[in-house]
Amino acid sequence: MQALASAAAKTLTQYLLRLTPYDMMRSSHDFEDVKAALNERTTWTIEVLRSVFAIRFANGGYFITPCSLLFLLMAETMHLHYGRLPPLELKKRVENMGYATFSILITIPDLGIIIVRVAGILAASPSLVLAAFLIFLSAAPSFILPLLIRMIRNPTAE
């Protein structure tokens, strides 16, 4: 059982690291590019979450409003805490924390966008079956297209 949990945690960590700037951080020497990418990413996340919060707050989304506010608070706090550091200080803090840990930490507000959107679909949908279909349909391009491309590039030998 412990081996299964360990394998699942390792797989989840590898999947999350593919969503992050992990490789860019590990290969960067001066961290100027990393800082610019993190600031751009965090600014985009803050803008998206602010728009979701404003729309849901005006429409009375009682579950989605606190969720979007929570992820917005996380994104703004990280932006204030890490976005203003000089590149070398940012690099030192990332190295102290660990590249993988920092990468996953930075990605949490981005995943919050997905969580808030899924919660919005569940709240707006009249049935769970329709909600599940819409969630699957919205997520399909991110996992079906890469699978199709992989199958086209590496056809099986018959």
pLDDT digits (tens, 9 = 90+) for 33-43: 888 888 998 99
- Taking the C-alpha atoms of residue 52 and residue 58, their distance in angstroms, rounded to an integer, is 10
C-beta separation of 123 from 56 below 8 A: no
- pLDDT (0 to 100) of residue 78: 92
pLDDT at 68 over 90: no
- pLDDT (0 to 100) of residue 146: 72
Q: What is the pTM assigned to this prediction? A: 0.72
pLDDT band at 61 (very low <50, low <70, confident <90, very high): low
Q: Round the CA-based radius of gyration of the chain to a whole number and report it.
A: 19
pLDDT at 46 over 70: yes
Helix extents (H) in 28-97: 32-59, 64-82, 87-97
